[in-house]
């Protein structure tokens, strides 16, 4: 068995981070989760994985998280599930940030997707779907608040 973490960032001051939090505050399911503006996967070696608007692409990155800015959900998974997630993430590395999708899907609720562009919660949820760890919602419409709620309902309390 292995552990993978979903990291939920709550202190974004970027334009998209603020817009995502604003929209989440208007959605019924967000509640206490509406503080989240960014998501990352954290592998056992400590590398974080996501698509970042500040980096402009999909990347693995060493991050030293400040505890007050992040919450984490730990998920115990099989070696096979871990390998599937890691394989998917490596296959998407260096793809572009989905600036169009974040506006059209997350802000305007339009279903327009380019296969090689991702925003944070979109790629995080898609990676988890690769290992059948998350229901098959369209990852294009999963924002950080929805991801946190889905994971907390299925797995463990947020730490």
Residue at 159 is within a domain: no
**For 36-56, what is the mean pLDDT?**
93
The pLDDT of residue 28 is above 80: no
Give the pLDDT confidence score for residue 146 in this predicted structure.
87
Domain range for residue 101? Answer: 2-154
Q: CATH number of the domain at 112, please.
A: 3.90.1720.10
On whether residue 112 sits in a domain, the answer given is yes
Q: What CA–CA distance (Å, rounded) separates 76 from 88? A: 18
Q: Count CB-CB contacts under 10 A for residue 156.
A: 12
CA distances from 41 to 14, 51, 63, 82, 111 (A): 20, 10, 11, 11, 24
Examine residue 42 and state whether it is found in any structural domain, yes or no: yes
Q: Is the pLDDT of residue 93 over 80?
A: yes
pTM, full prediction:
0.85
**CB count in 10 Å sphere of residue 108:** 9
Domains in the chain, number: 1
């Amino acid at each position: 068995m292995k552990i993978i973490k979903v990291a939920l960032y709550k202190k974004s001051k970027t334009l998209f981070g603020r817009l995502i939090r604003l929209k989440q505050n208007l959605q019924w399911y967000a509640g206490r989760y509406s503080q989240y503006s960014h998501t990352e996967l954290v592998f056992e070696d400590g590398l974080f994985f996501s698509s970042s608007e500040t980096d402009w692409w999909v990347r693995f990155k060493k991050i030293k998280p400040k505890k007050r800015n992040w919450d984490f959900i730990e998920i115990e998974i099989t070696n096979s599930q871990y390998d599937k997630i890691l394989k998917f993430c490596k296959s998407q590395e260096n793809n572009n940030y989905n600036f169009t999708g974040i506006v059209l899907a997350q802000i305007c609720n339009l279903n327009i997707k380019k296969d090689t562009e991702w925003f944070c919660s979109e790629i995080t949820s898609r990676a988890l779907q690769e290992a059948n760890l998350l229901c098959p919602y369209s990852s294009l419409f999963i924002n950080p608040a929805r991801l946190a709620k889905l994971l907390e309902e299925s797995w463990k309390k947020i730490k």
